[in-house]
């Protein structure tokens, strides 16, 4: 395991997901920041969840996960929603693109043709 779990709010499961998304350690996470890290998690296939997004922000600030409130939380929600829109509009790559090509991907479920 890397030192990612030394950051508040990051447990072993989140650390494994971050590593799988190409973020191997706390230095790399701090360098790219919570927003970019969450974007990479989404691209790697993590299911979007607003709490996970702001928990990552709070952790990098050394704050408890439930410290996000009011205007700060509203602003993070707007950034999260924009991130989802950006990632959902991004072209598929890797296994997702191949699954779409053979008719088993997310585009197939929505009725789009491969």
Confidence of residue 86 (pLDDT cuts 50, 70, 90): confident
What are the extents of the domains in the chain?
3-109
Q: Which two tokens stand for residue 22?
A: 């190409």
Q: Structure pTM?
A: 0.76
Domain 3-109 in CATH: superfamily? 5' to 3' exonuclease, C-terminal subdomain (1.10.150.20)
Q: What is the mean pLDDT of residues 26-54?
A: 95
Q: Is the pLDDT of residue 114 over 50?
A: no
């Amino acid at each position: 395991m890397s030192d990612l779990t030394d950051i508040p709010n990051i447990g072993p499961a989140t650390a494994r997901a971050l590593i799988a998304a190409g973020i191997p350690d706390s230095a790399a996470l701090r360098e790219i920041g919570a927003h970019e890290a969450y974007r990479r998690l989404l691209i790697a296939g993590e299911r979007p969840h607003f709490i996970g997004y702001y928990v990552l922000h709070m952790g990098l600030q050394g704050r408890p996960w439930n410290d996000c409130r009011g205007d700060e939380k509203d602003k993070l929600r707007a950034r999260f929603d924009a991130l989802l829109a950006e990632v959902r509009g991004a072209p598929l790559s890797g296994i997702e693109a191949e699954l779409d090509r053979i008719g088993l991907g997310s585009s197939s479920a929505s009725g789009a043709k491969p």
